[in-house]
Chains A and B, each alone.
Chain A
């Protein structure tokens, strides 16, 4: 089975440009998470969706960041305009809340963003 698929794997852009990161969760999973990883701050939860509905976006840094999940098989994270401090690895993860306690996350391979 395919895991969580993210694109692009690498993106280099200039400050001020719009960046769109994409994620396809594992089929059948009903929760999707966007994380950002940096050396300084570690893994930070940006936003997560349950059944395509945003549940907690308190980790979204500011209005420049937005995330959507138009259907169960696709999500985007957009940064507009991008800034150098947005440089990080962005991970998408999905899980299934099938009623049992806890929910292991399956991470994609990440999108490494560099903003010059």
Chain B
């Protein structure tokens, strides 16, 4: 079943508001990645987190990897209409000699101007 969870699937915010979304895994992840897909587009890599508790920032976006490496968060400060899209987390789960990148279902963000 689904091992990487993103709930809810949709969120609507007013432009200028902050936005936070979470990603949870049932198993420990070797790393986690975040992607953004604009409407009608394809997923585009945003960032990768590898270390427990790691925090990375990209302009108004802040990404965090949980201490137990089972969850992650994405925070957007002062949302803009350009932030519209679906944000996916993808967890790398290692089983034996192979690893498998499993995507969450994503959260679709809409921003009211």
Residues of A within 8 A of B (CB): 33, 35, 42-43, 45, 55-56, 91, 93, 101-110
Task: Say what secondary structure dominates the interface of chain B.
Answer: strand
Interface residue B30 (Cβ < 8 Å from any Cβ of A): yes
Residues of B within 8 A of A (CB): 30-31, 33, 35, 41-45, 48, 50, 88, 90, 92, 98, 100-106
- Residues of chain A within 8 A of B44, CB atoms compared: 107
Number of A-B pairs whose CB atoms are under 8 Å? 48
Task: Say what secondary structure dominates the interface of chain A.
Answer: strand
- Residues of chain B within 8 A of A108, CB atoms compared: 42
Please judge, given known A-B contacts A101-B30, A101-B31, A104-B33, whether A45 and B45 are in contact too, CB under 8 Å.
Answer: no
- Residues of chain B within 8 A of A106, CB atoms compared: 45
Choose from A42, A102, A103, A110 the contact partner of B103 (Cβ within 8 Å). Answer: A42
**Shortest Cβ gap from B39 to chain A (Å):** 12
